[in-house]
Structure 1
Amino acid sequence: MAYSSNKEHPWFEICHPRPSAEWQVFIFPAAGTAGSFYKDWDRNFPEYEFSIIIYPGRAKRLGERLLTTIKEYLVQLHRELLPYITKPCIFIGHSVGTVISFALARHMIEARNKGDLIKLLVEMSRGPPHIQGLDADKSFTIMTDAELVENLKLMSDPKSRDAFDYKPFVDMLIPILRADAKLGDVLIPSNPINIPIVVYSGEKEENLTEEFLNRWIELTTVKDLFRVRIFPGHHNFHSEHPDQVLQCLKEDFNQIIMLTKV
């Protein structure tokens, strides 16, 4: 099915339409975010068409019901996203987006529906979703509002922390975060997939040790391509050091391209 760039789709936004691009990249943002930060990530990737997944309940979908289970996400993504995956593609997930992107990749493989088109998963700022996290006792679902806000400040880019002192913004954000946290708190099956996985994280990220991040390797059978990259910064390290992150993305993308041409 061809996708017309003149038509808006509720589940994703194409950053800059590139009908002749050889690859598609789908970005699954973190909890509570609409993903607008990623709109210019494709500027030095002319051979790729980047799209940002838009979850219900944010951005232009603000009035929609929030989803709280992987099953709900998979049902809707199967119907609304898969028809538009038509080329070799890469999934990038950040935080709860790692859970959604990994679960969708496995679903596509098991359903035999375009799973062969997924060539790489880049998972950022979260431990492997088949293992209880080191911060499991600090879930957003059980924090008070004040605790949640303080936690957000600790995770965020220091330049943007003042935003969490603006009450209308926080009041809008908290229900979304609590819904997303329900999704991230559930463990998913540990059976691995035949897709390479690369993991990115910030060195100042609390409760995410390199040893813990390395356990993502248990979820891929392509173990020789697995790697963990640690960047300066916090949970949102990619907004603190975007040039460094994008350079590493280009290196990892190019490695996959070379392998697919062999």
Structure 2
Amino acid sequence: MQHTDPTGTPAPVLPAPAASPWIRRFRPSPESRVRLVCFPHAGGSASSYLSLSRQLPAEIEAWALQYPGRQERRAEQPFTGLPELADAVFDVLRPQLAEPYAFFGHSMGSVVAFEVARRFERAGLASPVQLFASARRPPSSPQRTTIRLRDDDGLVAEMERLGGTAPGVLDDEELRAMVLPVVRADYHALETYTCDQGAVVHCPLTALSGDADPSLAVTEVEGWREHTTGAFGVSVYSGGHFYLDGNVPAVTREIATTLLGPSGAV
């Protein structure tokens, strides 16, 4: 089916990306007219966006990022600095992304997405048409935790508290040895990251959260307003830190409406 914009002109089809270990496309869409780059949470992998990728309309193609150190990249060293991770992602995406594109980050991924968007803007390149920042305090909020310094049991306890890992799953020592170094590296990157109050992006920004997130008060997400000069909105869903797991249809509808509009036009 040939899509058209509101003037009746055929909408451009975006080129497919070159093969990259950084980018997973769970549902390639030749019809796509906007790319949604998805940034995982601390300890997370590209597969955390499998369900979301498959429920987006064909006009939106999700690119789920696969950071070093996880799944098929487990032999690679994970980043321990968030600016360095953002630099690497920017270097990967810069030659790959065609306009229009958007970013969706969950938890740590929200901050990485914010920093990558800033890098695009500083380089004089097109901003994302939308930044979705999910389940994370605004970048300039003071860092309150030192989870990276806990022993393995303490790290597992935090993962279970947030709901990302079911109790008992990480009792297996081999699994712990595979998972925990990546989680600890991600927390080191997040907990040593600093951001000025005046740091902004110029694209529209939507902050999303769960109403029962133990790590984030709903009122805190309003602070993202200070980090964009574009339009700003807040969306609250039922659930905890991983509210997305139980709200994928609703979140994908919000993404589609935001990116395509009621008429389906980018």
Give the shorter-chain TM-score range. Answer: 0.7 to 0.9
Cα deviations across residues 139-162 of structure 1 (Å, max 9, x unaligned)? 32122221221111111158x444
What's 1:207 paired with? Answer: 215
Change (3 A) 1:257 1:155: farther
Which residue type is aligned with residue 15 of structure 1? F
Distance 1:3 1:76 in 2: 22
Matched, 1:249 2:232: no
State the AA in 1 paired with 2:77. Answer: R
SS of alignment partner, residue 69 of structure 2: coil
Q: Identical aligned pairs, as a percentage?
A: 24
Task: Indicate how the Cα distance of structure 1 residues 78 and 248 shifts in structure 2: closer, same or farther if over 3 A, else same.
Answer: closer
Q: CA deviation at 1:216?
A: 0.4
Aligned length: 250
| Matched ranges for 1:104-123 at <5 A | 104-112=116-124, 114-116=125-127, 118-123=128-133
Match of 2:86 among 51, 74, 77: 74
Letter in 1 for 2:222: N
Matched, 1:218 2:226: yes
Q: Give the deviation of 1:237 after TM superposition.
A: 0.9
Please state how far the C-alpha of 1:245 moved relative to its aligned partner: 2.4
2:108 corresponds to 1:101? no
1:164 corresponds to which of 144, 165, 170: 170
One-letter code of the match for 2:186?
D
How far apart are the structure 2 equivalents of 1:23 and 1:233?
28
**Matched residues in 1 for 2:140 and 2:101: separation?**
24
- Pairwise CA distance, 1:4: 5.1
1:10-89 matched pairs, under 5 angstroms: 10-42=21-53, 43-89=55-101
Deviations 1:83-106 (A, max 9, x none): 110120110001111111100000
Q: Within 1, Cα distance between the matches of 2:262 and 2:111?
A: 22
Q: Are the equivalent residues in 2 in contact too, given 1:15–1:40 (CA < 8 A)?
A: no
Q: In 1, Cα distance between the equivalents of 2:190 and 2:164?
A: 21
1:240 aligns with 2:246: yes
Structure 1: gaps (5+ residues)? none
- Work out the CA distance in 2 between the residues paired with 1:49 and 1:35: 14
The two structures, once aligned, show a CA RMSD in angstroms of: 2.3
SS at match of 2:105: strand
Q: CA deviation at 1:208?
A: 1.1
The DSSP-based 3-state class of the residue aligned with 1:91 is strand
Is the helix fraction higher in 1 or 2? 1
- Structure 2, unmatched stretches of 5+, are 1-13
Per the normalisation by structure 1, the TM-score is: 0.86
Runs of 4+ with >6 A deviation: none
Paired letter, 1:182: H
Q: Deviations over 1:48-71 (max 9, x none)?
A: 111101101112211111111233
Structure 1 residue 256 displacement after superposition: 9.6
Equivalence for 1:126? 136
